[in-house]
Homo-oligomer: A and B are copies of this chain.
Amino acid sequence: MPFTNGADGSVTMRDVARKARVSLASVSRVLSKHPDVSEAMQRRVLAAVKSLDFAPDFLAQSLRRGVTHTIGFLIGDISNPVYADVIRGAEDFARSKGYGMMLTNSEADPHLDAEHLRLFLQRRVDGIIVSTVESGSAEIARELLEQVVPYVVVDRDAPQGARVSTVFGDHASGTRAATAHLIGHGHESISLISGYEHLKPARERIRGFREAFEAAGLKPPEELIRRGSLTPEFGREETFRLLNQADRPSAIIAGNNRVLAGVVEGVHQTDFQVGVDLALVGYDNLDLARLYRPPISVVVRDQYRMGQIACELLIERLSDPEAPARSVTLPTHFVPRASSDFVWKGRRKRS
């Protein structure tokens, strides 16, 4: 096997071997902490390493060993603050197992996802956590399926036929609970402003929404399910439109935290008051929801735990390439607050 050859004049393992008067293989065994090395040999080699001020080339080493103890985390959109907790959970777990973690940010652009995947593979990560914004992007799926490194998918469908572990939030149950809470407080005309159904979380939210109506013996208001990209702009525009129509809804569920910011902005453009003549539910326990007056009810999930589990599933595969793919689903919970926790008695007369 080739070692760094010191063409640039740097000290090489060969120099260390010469200095210690041992074989190159012995130096390699000592530096790679091989168990089958005598204490005397270890002292001899380390003395030579020290006297020559030899810095092992970790990247060259990992090329030889084929293992880098580095995990790549493909972030779909760093602008969404919920990612921060997923990343922290994954990093803490990785670190506890001796892995470093590098991130890339794709700004919700599937082409960048593919580019970043290539970047990770070129920089030789051992495995990848994939948390893209779009799923089913043909380009990403193809890239992934062609890869040799194990990967884990967070809150998105895995490409069909791929042996890949996944961690999901159970978005249906939280949305079902939120919808049931609104129905129980007298609402029938409830709007869900959420994402397109090719994204698993959006699909699951719509399912939970419908199930709550059906459980109450009511027909789900299909025309009040609004689908779009999960941006503040979409939330603002749909809210303004909904609240200005004759048969306006009395409650809105904003399908994620970015949409919620837009919905709040849209409400401010009308003369409706959250918690008085409009019930509001959002997602994720961020500053806006917690500190808005009235505080905004939310469906929450444990993002930190989600990151931990994603990393655990990945390292499971790294430790045992034959391990079967696993899928873990984490619960979501509804936290009622003043924005929706009032009894709806029908519309006030408005000018």
Contact = CB atoms under 8 A, between A and B. Distances in A.
Interface in A221-276: 261, 264-265, 268
Quickly give the copy total for this chain: 2
A107 interface: yes
A137 interface: no
B91 A123 contact: no
A293 interface: yes
Given A1-B7, A100-B115, A70 B123 contact: yes
Interface stretch (A56-64, A164-172, A191-199): A56-64
Contacts of A59: 59, 63, 122-124
A84 interface: yes
Nearest to A100: B119
A101 B102 contact: no
A305 to B, nearest CB: 16
Interface size class of A (residues with CB under 8 A): 35 or more
A105 B123 contact: no
Given A7-B1, A291-B261, A88 B84 contact: no
Contacts of A28: none
Nearest to A81: B81
A217 interface: no
The 6 closest A-B pairs by CB, nearest first: A2-B2, A103-B103, A58-B122, A100-B119, A287-B288, A79-B84
Interface of A: 1-5, 7-8, 58-60, 62-63, 66, 68, 70, 78-79, 81, 83-85, 87-88, 91, 100-105, 107, 115-116, 119, 122-124, 261, 264-265, 268, 286-288, 290-293
13 contacts: A8-B66, A58-B122, A59-B124, A60-B63, A91-B107, A100-B119, A103-B105, A123-B123, A123-B124, A261-B287, A287-B288, A288-B291, A292-B293
